[in-house]
Structure 1
Amino acid sequence: MTGVAAPTSAPSGAPVEAVVFDYGGVLTVPVKESIAAWLEADGIEPRSFSQTLKDWMSRDAPAGTPIHRLETGELTVAEFDALLAAELTTTDGRPVDPVGVLSRLFAGMRPDPAMFALVQEVRELGIRVALLSNSWGNTYPRKRIEALLDPVVISGEVGLRKPQAPIYELTLARLGVAANRALFLDDAEPNVLGARVVGMRAHLHADSASTRAALAALVPGLRPTPNGAPV
């Protein structure tokens, strides 16, 4: 992000009016757990997958990699499955079945009840809550998230992706909230940095407990531990 000025810090004590949540790895259990189970079940050499991720989504990756095009909806899931399968190797030398690769990769990704409860609590305190997610062809629990979060911004549906500025700006416009009054939560550091570039506050999510504590410091009335838990 060379050539982009660092965002002005939000005024000390400025109230948070909206919290924007990522989906995979924030409102769900860690994605790495699902990936590990898939690698083992399909007998895929982990280094072949990690190298492909590095080539396609690291900060040094060229624009327009298959992951970038998947996230913006330019590639179908079936097209991406075939491209990914071609890059992977197995522990016994078999070719990787390209049909349903992403479905198997995400099979173990489940909603995190503690994080959904946190969203509900933040909302009940009068704070806007929104979703901003880069889609990898995921099937989202649309009824559940749309009843709870507004707006819901999915990269493949708007043709934009994190960590590029336009998708954060679109989310803020739909919220009608100034950047320095919005807090963004994501489990990927590049996406957190991208939010800060447009002036948003941002927190790198690791687990529900530390994220709740970070939110409690900014949202009046939010307990640093769940109801019923010792403070």
Structure 2
Amino acid sequence: MSGAAEPPTAPVEAVVLDYGGVLTAPVKDSIEAWIEADGIEPQSFSRALKAWLGRGAPAGTPIHRLETGELTVAEFDALLAAELTTTDGRPVEPVGLLARLFAGMRHDPAMLALVEELRELGIRVALLSNSWGNTYPRELIDALFDPVVISGEVGLRKPLAPIYELTLARLGVTAGRVLFVDDAEPNVLGARAVGMRAHLHVDASSTRAALAALVPGLRPSPNGSPA
């Protein structure tokens, strides 16, 4: 939903959160552990990531098609393995590659607690995530978020406008009254392009502080006084 721009200090009615890197520890931590465990040459992964997900990447790269559900995990695993090299020259095992890449992902308890507090304050909280074939903890996220919008399920992906517009439509909240939180700058810019407010997530404490300035009653720190 679109509308007139809201004052920058107007309270928000809904918060939309990314999953990996926002509700979890940084994705790079899991990637670094996988690179070390599998003996991946880091530069080979960086090259593939830049070619398939960088700002200059053409539309329809393997990552784009994975995120929209056009590629299966097995198909993507094979394509990525073919782009990677190992430190000792062994071929990269494609089977289970993404599962190994994400094996180190852990939830951030501080962010989950923040979601609970927002809900208690009457704020709508939604999830908007680009899926890399991830197995989401559906019992957890379905209980915490409404709506849940996952790229591979809807055939759309961040940072393109349609997936934000779909999320806003499902929320039924004007774009200017929604704050989007993501750890990737292109996704933050994509949200702003459709009129949403957006915050680049670095850690739970700074995200909480940003939200406390916009959500009446939210404490700026877990044990602090209400804002």
Q: What's the TM-score bracket when you normalise by the shorter of the two chains?
A: over 0.9
**2:87 aligned partner:** 91
Distance, in Å, in 2 between the alignment partners of 1:28 and 1:10 is 30
Unaligned runs of 5+ in 2: none
What's the offset of the Cα at 1:228?
Answer: 6.5
Aligned to 2:145: 149
The correspondence for 1:40, drawn from 36, 60, 66, is: 36
Task: Give secondary structure in 2 for the equivalent of 1:137.
Answer: coil
Q: Deviations over 1:23-72 (max 9, x none)?
A: 00000011000000000000000000011000000111000000000000
Q: How many pairs align? A: 224
1:134 matched to which residue of 2? 130
Q: CA RMSD in A?
A: 1.4
Q: Paired residue for 1:158, among 148, 154, 164?
A: 154
Q: Name which of 74, 80, 92 aligns with 1:78.
A: 74
Give the gaps of 5 or more residues in structure 1: 1-6
Report deviation, 1:11: 1.7
The aligned runs of 1:1-231 (5 Å cut-off) are 9-227=5-223
Sequence identity of aligned pairs in percent? 82
**CA contact under 8 A between 1:10 and 1:201: conserved in structure 2?**
no
Classify the secondary structure of the residue corresponding to 1:19. strand
Equivalent position amino acid for 1:40 in 2: E
What is the rounded CA distance, in whole Å, between the counterparts of 2:186 and 2:8 in structure 1?
A: 24
Secondary structure in 1 matching 2:15: strand
Q: Which amino acid aligns with 1:89?
A: T
TM-score, normalised with respect to structure 2: 0.96
Please say which of residues 13-22 and 131-140 is displaced more in the overlay: 13-22
Tell me what 1:3 maps to.
Answer: none
List structure 1 runs of 4+ shifted beyond 3 angstroms: none
Report the 3-state secondary structure (helix = DSSP H, G, I; strand = E; otherwise coil) of the residue aligned with 1:29: coil
Work out the CA distance in 1 between the residues paired with 2:149 and 2:27: 20
Per-residue CA deviations over 1:87-117 (Å, capped at 9, x if unaligned) read: 0000001110000000000000011110000
Shift of 1:13: 3.0
Q: Distance in 2 between matches of 1:9 and 1:205?
A: 23
TM-score using structure 1 length? 0.94
1:132 aligns to what SS in structure 2?
A: strand
Separation in 2, partners of 1:202, 1:226: 22
